[in-house]
Amino acid sequence: MAVCVAVIAKENYPLYIRSVPAENELKFHYMVHTSLDVVDEKISAMGKALVDQRELYLGLLYPTEDYKVYGYVTNSKVKFVMVVDSSNTALRDNEIRSMFRKLHNSYTDVMCNPFYNPGDRIQSSLQINTDLTSACHRGASQRSFHVRVFQTCSWELPVSPHTAPEGLLVAGPSMAW
Amino acid sequence: MSVPDYMQCAEDHQTLLVVVQPVGIVSEENFFSIYKRISSVSQISVRDSQRVLYIRYRHHYPPENNEWGDFQTHRKVVGLITITDCFSAKDWPQTFEKFHVQKEIYGSTLYDSRLFVFGLQGEIAEQPRTDVAFYPSYEDCGAVEKRIEDFIESLFIVLESKRLDRATDKSGDKIPLLCVPFEKKDFVGLDTDSRHYKKRCQGRMRKHVGDLCLQAGMLQDSLVHYHMSVELLRSVNDFLWLGAALEGLCSASVIYHYPGGTGGKAGARRFQGSSLPAEAANRHRPGAQEVLIDPGALTTNGINPDTSTEIGRAKNCLSPEDIIDKYKEAISCYSKYKNAGVIELEACVKAVRVLAIQKRSMEASEFLQNAVYINLRQLSEEEKIQRYSILSELYELIGFHRKSAFFKRVAAMQCVAPSISEPGWRACYKLLLETLPGYSLSLDPQDFSKGTHRGWAAVQMRLLHELVYASRRMGNPALSVRHLSFLLQTMLDFLSDQEKKDVTQSLENYTSKCPGTMELITLPDGLMLPPVPFTKLPIVRRVKLLNLPASLRPQKMKSLLGQSVSTKSPFIYSPIVAHSRGGEERNRKTDFQWVQGDVCEVQLMVYNPMPFELRVENMGLLTSGVEFESLPAALSLPAESGLYPVTLVGVPQTTGTMTVNGYHTTVFGVFSDCLLDSLPGMKTSGSTVEVIPALPRLQISTSLPRSAHSLQPSSGDEISTNVSVQLYNGETQHLVVKLENIGMEPLEKLEVTSKILTTKEKLYGDFLSWKLEETLAQFPLQPGKVATFTVSIKVKLDFSCQENLLQDLSDEAYLGDTVGSVPDNHNGISVSGFPLCSPFRQVVRPRVESKPVNPAEGSRPGDPGHVKTLEAILNFKYSGGPGHVEGYYRNLSLGLHVEVEPSVFFTRVSTLPATSTRQCHLLLDVFNSMEHELSVSARSNEELILHAGECQRMAIQVDKFNFESFPESPGEKGQFANSKQLEEERQEARGLEINSKLDIHWTIPSLKRTGEASVEGLLNQLVLEHLQLAPLLWDVLVDGQPCDREAAACRVGDPVRLEVRLTNRSPRSVGPFALSVVPFQDQQNGVHNYDLRHAVSFVGSSTFYLDKVQPLGQSACLGALLFLYTGDFFLHIRFHEDGSSKELPASWFCLPSVHVRALEAQA
């Protein structure tokens, strides 16, 4: 399953980011943030290809010890990044692709919402995922987005808490005030 | 081999490693000055050949790395230079001994060594030695470079001999097996004769020779050797050495392809030495030529030399793509050995550098990813920091800025890891600063002022938090305050409520020790931290310069010739408006002025975005253009307040054009200067204002109480003070106005005008009157001085009665006889004050007529007076000081509110003819509407006492008025074309005249108040006519004596001369008239006896004829009477009815009745 899903704007700031073990969210922030280097690199390499033949799916961006980071870029340069548990071998490229496609459809739905300003953070009711039906504030299209994201995210298997060497250091010394 | 050298690059394979070390106590400064000089000699062209030697100097090299020297010869320490201090010959042997000890450390691999002795002079220093050089001091050692060159040449000789030695090993000789330290025990007891073993030995030796060739500057040879070695080693599956051979191949190819170098610093170093760029470009040539020069060396080596050098090079040298493939292969070979971790890591680093040059970031990142996972032994904290830093650097090299920043941050965190006893906060902070670009974060708040923040707020905030914390631990609170302010200012939208609270609380803690300033903080490494003004705490939405209060507003005196007309255009009016550009909008000038020395205000609409109360202290204005004394304010904004108006004040000290640039605040102990230009979403209606020179300030206080009434807003003027007074109708009161100059300038000019606000009431006489001269005599009024000014308020409203009141009164018995009887307009002399009844009144007093007769409008029945209100404004225009010179003045308005209570009413007015035709009686029904007893007195009459609510008639004998003799009323100057108005004017003038004659006063003894009463309003046409002296003046003379009211005496029997004289003062000719004299006797009982034929006889005709009388002419007719009996006789002179007299008013023909007393004839 995906442990983290992120939608990143053209200007490389997060529109939506959500990880399933919510307690160590910052780790995924860093992971997704650094993956943008690879995305940029791949996009610039792809730039030469013809626009209509362009593959939106970027494939594996980079593996870490515990996770694999996959990328997807829309024609409007909005990036989707998904982090999956590397121990989960059931996920093949095809599954990842279809997850991205679902995500892309949901994102399109959000963009269709007339109450959504492009560039704003995407509000998600995922925090209150116990009650999805009541959680929709901003219109039906967005609700479907939440539902789908929820489905994508909740396939199964929480992550084993192994940490990569750098992951160990993400937190650093406690920044207590 | 445990210490990786992360700085390694492919070129290092061709270098000779020389260690430079101090022995004994050598100051670091001295050592490094020498080290620097030594290391400048990094490249040597070897004598009589075109080969170039490259030297790598290290001042520190772990000996265990040296043990891997056979594996890769560039790891072998081949030269040692020892630097030492020695000041006396006595110490010399000891020093020399130390040198030997030092030599022992690297002894097995050293080709040659040198000892540089500083400070020793004398005998020992004289003796020439090759391995020791003496220098008197660190400054005086000019020959160091030369010595090093000599030393390197000696190294070259050894190297060359070794190379030739190894290369020419006969195949028959047993080739020793070269091995790395950890392999040694593996080969114990191995069959050394096996073919496999021999091949292994051969392969490894080939590789070694390749290394030596590369070091000796023979690139082409080395390529050949490496190729052979790869083949040999591959066949025996000697993976470690195969990797090394492949890496050697790659290194040689990289050197060939990229003469500029792959490791940034190393490449630069190469050029700064003796080598010229041209030489660097041709660097591959020397090796190639060597092949030609010394072909035997190759042939004897058992390798088929390809003498066609160009083809051979192309064949042997790897293509750029192959380099990477071979690197990959080499690394995968290394990875099979746990102990070769360092080698693998270094190979990865080298490959990444090559890929960076090739701009193949993706592959480079794969190599780096691999490098990350190479597990060395337990690293020390310092090594970890080094490792992460180098990873960061490499990621930066391949353009992965975010990844680079990530590792740099990890390195920074490592500096202060809990396991470190002395955390390096300084280093941590420095590293964190270096990560800023990777997180697209600049520390300049200006970059954030454009619209909403677009960045990865979560990671940026984290970084800022870490910067704050690190700078605090570094002991630099000013820095942490700056970072924390920055965090608060730029990330406000992303902070949760709790975070906002935490951040502000810690900011307050910091600022209590070190307040935040607006100064630029410059870090030791030159980074500038611009100040962070809190433009969002509070958010300012609108800035508006406020005009001065109306009473202080300066006004420009109208100059004679239109200075007000702008001189920009020669036209008085032009529809073409000069377009102002959009940019000027902000600096648009306001249309009002401020005055030097006066408190001026600027209104800001502020908004507190914080979830708690925000205390803003020391909030003031930032201005330019004029010296401005800002008076700071402190405010406390409630949590998440809406727009909240705040007024900032200040005093301009000089004159000129002033611009409000911004404001300053202190929030949470941080000073901020916020400029309006940099505020997003700011609305301003002009921030530039003209400051004019100082003007005096006038304060007025009056003898009357202040009033809460405000005058009608429609008046337009803004009233600074309102006073009110209650007066009875007809009363006069003096209003003493105290004028105090509370400003700093003398008050020189004062003008007073008044304006009576529109009132429904008709007002008689001057409401307000004053004499300014007395006040002006006290001028100029110095600051602090007081002048007085007296205004008399006279209220004289209509004294006539209202209808409803009359209606009310009519019920009362004592007026019953007159009320309701329609007055006889033609005959009657009794005309009531009813406005409704007389058609004339419609002409005279239309205003009363228009008033709807509505009892409800007034007060309740029986309450005669509803209070009437009069309002007026007194305007004081004043000026003085420099502002006066500039032509400005100020206007102060005093509102006056007068409540007029009714005093007396004249309910009815009528006339009675007096005995004399030149006089008449004016009858006034006076009604006391007050609750007090009052007395009314007219000119000559005695006082009339009236009780409350009482009505009495008052008769005043008045001389008739000759209105025509008065000058025409001032209104009659032709401007009233309307005859109605003209008539009204005239009426008023007459009323005034009559009133002044009557001089009616009332007094309330109990209140000690007096006032006038005026009949002006109630005199109507008929009454006036009666009061008026007729234009035809009739005089009757009896015996030549004018006879009016006194009885004329005559004798019985004597003819009495009777003369009727007519004086025409009307503007037209009158007559002729016929008069007949009718004598009668009044029997005093109402009976007039006209039958006097026996008692009176006429001498001549009883009818007189008067001719036409011209205007201003006079005419007389004579007759005579003869009284036959004594008695009192009256003569009634009648007009004969004819056409001409009908045209004239009846009152004109009012002849006196003549009273003649006939006495006994004298005996």
What is the pLDDT averaged over residues B105-111?
83
Distance CA(B697)–CA(B720), nearest Å, equals 13
Output DSSP code: residue B194.
S
User: Which of B155-164, B765-774, B807-816 bottoms out in mean pLDDT, i.e. has the lowest?
Assistant: B807-816
Q: Measured between CB atoms, which of B365, B456, B502 is closest to A33?
A: B456
User: Which of B87-101, B661-675, B1047-1061 bottoms out in mean pLDDT, i.e. has the lowest?
Assistant: B1047-1061
**DSSP-based three-state secondary structure for B720:** coil
B97/chain A closest Cα distance in angstroms: 47
User: Which of B621-625, B660-664, B899-903 bottoms out in mean pLDDT, i.e. has the lowest?
Assistant: B899-903
Q: What is the 3-state secondary structure (H, E, C) of B1023-1063?
A: HHHHHECCCEEEEEEECCEECCCCCEEEECCCEEEEEEEEE
Quick check: B967 pLDDT over 60? no
Distance CA(B771)–CA(B790), nearest Å, equals 7
Q: Measured between CB atoms, which of B400, B401, B506 is closest to A177?
A: B506
User: How high is the pLDDT of residue A80?
Assistant: 92
User: Which of B289-303, B770-784, B1091-1105 bottoms out in mean pLDDT, i.e. has the lowest?
Assistant: B289-303
Best mutation target, A7, A12, A41, A127, to test chain B (most B CBs within 10 A): A41
Q: Any CB–CB contact under 8 A between A111 and chain B?
A: no
- Among residues A28, A14, A18, A26, the alpha carbon closest in space to that of A172 is found at A26
Quick check: B802 pLDDT over 80? no
Quick check: B117 pLDDT over 60? yes
What is the pLDDT averaged over residues B798-808?
56
Indicate yes or no: CB of B410 within 8 angstroms of CB of A170.
yes
Distance CA(B118)–CA(B125), nearest Å, equals 10
Q: What is the share, in percent, of chain B residues with pLDDT greater than 70?
A: 79
Q: What is the 3-state secondary structure (H, E, C) of B8-46?
A: CCHHHHHEEEEEEEEECCCCHHHHHHHHHHHHCCCEEEC
User: Which of B215-224, B609-618, B824-833 bottoms out in mean pLDDT, i.e. has the lowest?
Assistant: B824-833
The pLDDT confidence band at residue B266, using thresholds 50, 70 and 90, is very low
Indicate yes or no: CB of B410 within 8 angstroms of CB of A34.
no
Beta-carbon contacts of A44 under 8 Å, excluding residues fewer than 6 positions away, are none
Output DSSP code: residue B64.
H
* Chain A, nearest residue to B391 by Cα: A166
Indicate yes or no: CB of A166 within 8 angstroms of CB of B413.
no
User: How high is the pLDDT of residue B1044?
Assistant: 64
B278/chain A closest Cα distance in angstroms: 34
Q: Which amino acid is at B268?
A: A
Helix (H) or strand (E) run with residue B336 in it: none
Quick check: A151 pLDDT over 60? no
> How many C-beta atoms lie closer than 10 Å to residue B251's C-beta?
30
Secondary-structure breakdown of chain B: helix, strand, coil percentages, each rounded to the nearest 5: 35, 25, 35
* Chain B, nearest residue to A14 by Cα: B456
Q: Which range scores top for mean pLDDT: A129-133, B604-608, B729-733, B966-970?
A: B604-608
Quick check: B975 pLDDT over 70? no
The pLDDT confidence band at residue B161, using thresholds 50, 70 and 90, is confident
User: How high is the pLDDT of residue B1099?
Assistant: 78
The pLDDT confidence band at residue B487, using thresholds 50, 70 and 90, is confident
**Dihedrals φ, ψ of B671, to 5°?**
-80, 135
**Dihedrals φ, ψ of B906, to 5°?**
-100, 105
End-to-end Cα, chain A, rounded Å:
37
What is the pLDDT averaged over residues B480-489?
87
Beta-carbon contacts of B443 under 8 Å, excluding residues fewer than 6 positions away, are B436, B483, B486, B527, B529, B530
Q: What is the 3-state secondary structure (H, E, C) of B501-519?
A: HHHHHHHHHHHHHCCECCC
Quick check: B1009 pLDDT over 70? yes
**DSSP-based three-state secondary structure for B243:** helix
A28/chain B closest Cα distance in angstroms: 10
The stretches of B778-932 forming alpha helices (DSSP H) are: 803-810, 839-844, 846-850, 881-885
Q: Which residue has the higher pLDDT, B1111 or B164?
A: B164
Quick check: B133 pLDDT over 50? yes
Q: Are strands B1055-1064 and B1114-1123 parallel, antiparallel or unpaired?
A: antiparallel
Provide the CA B1121 distance to its chain's centre, in angstroms: 105
Provide the CA A62 distance to its chain's centre, in angstroms: 14
Q: Are strands B521-522 and B77-85 parallel, antiparallel or unpaired?
A: unpaired
The pLDDT confidence band at residue B1061, using thresholds 50, 70 and 90, is confident
**Dihedrals φ, ψ of B727, to 5°?**
-130, 155
Task: Count Cα neighbours of B916 within 13 Å in the Cβ-side half-sphere.
Answer: 11
User: How high is the pLDDT of residue B1141?
Assistant: 53
Distance CA(B1059)–CA(B1152), nearest Å, equals 12
**Total-model pTM:** 0.67
User: Which of B321-335, B776-790, B791-805 bottoms out in mean pLDDT, i.e. has the lowest?
Assistant: B791-805
Q: What is the pLDDT of residues A153-168, one digit of tens each?
A: 333 223 333 333 333 3
> How many C-beta atoms lie closer than 10 Å to residue A170's C-beta?
20
> How many C-beta atoms lie closer than 10 Å to residue B64's C-beta?
11
User: How high is the pLDDT of residue B585?
Assistant: 47
Distance CA(B54)–CA(B275), nearest Å, equals 11
Q: What is the pLDDT of residues B76-89, one digit of tens each?
A: 888 888 888 888 87
Provide the CA B300 distance to its chain's centre, in angstroms: 91
Q: Any CB–CB contact under 8 A between A115 and chain B?
A: no
- Among residues B483, B438, B424, the alpha carbon closest in space to that of A173 is found at B424
What is the pLDDT averaged over residues B378-393?
84
Give CA angle at B847 (B842, B851), nearest 5°: 105
Quick check: B977 pLDDT over 60? no
User: How high is the pLDDT of residue B1144?
Assistant: 65
The pLDDT confidence band at residue B963, using thresholds 50, 70 and 90, is low
Q: Which amino acid is at B929?
A: S
Distance CA(A98)–CA(A84), nearest Å, equals 14
Tokens of A54: 């362009």
Best mutation target, B383, B403, B466, B510, to test chain A (most A CBs within 10 A): B403
Q: What is the pLDDT of residues B502-539, one digit of tens each?
A: 988 888 888 888 888 888 888 887 788 888 888 888 88
Best mutation target, B394, B462, B468, to test chain A (most A CBs within 10 A): B462
Quick check: B144 pLDDT over 50? yes
Q: Which residues of B1112-1122 are buried (b: 16+ CB within 10 A; e: fewer)?
A: eeebebebebb
Mean per-residue pLDDT of chain A:
69
Is residue B549 reached through a cis peptide bond, with omega within 30 degrees of 0 on the bond before it?
A: no
User: How high is the pLDDT of residue B588?
Assistant: 64
**DSSP-based three-state secondary structure for B543:** strand
Mean per-residue pLDDT of chain B:
75
What are the CB-based long-range contacts (under 8 Å, 24+) for B324-327?
A: B324/B351, B324/B354, B324/B355, B324/B358, B324/B360, B324/B363, B326/B246, B326/B247, B326/B249, B326/B250, B327/B246, B327/B247, B327/B250, B327/B351, B327/B354, B327/B367
Q: What is the share, in percent, of chain B residues with pLDDT greater than 90?
A: 0
User: Which of B410-419, B646-655, B870-879, B967-976 bottoms out in mean pLDDT, i.e. has the lowest?
Assistant: B967-976
Quick check: B583 pLDDT over 60? no
A133/chain B closest Cα distance in angstroms: 26
B330/chain A closest Cα distance in angstroms: 22
Indicate yes or no: CB of B402 within 8 angstroms of CB of A37.
yes
Q: What is the share, in percent, of chain A residues with pLDDT greater than 90?
A: 3
Helix (H) or strand (E) run with residue B731 in it: none
Q: Which residue has the higher pLDDT, B1139 or B840?
A: B1139
Quick check: B580 pLDDT over 80? no
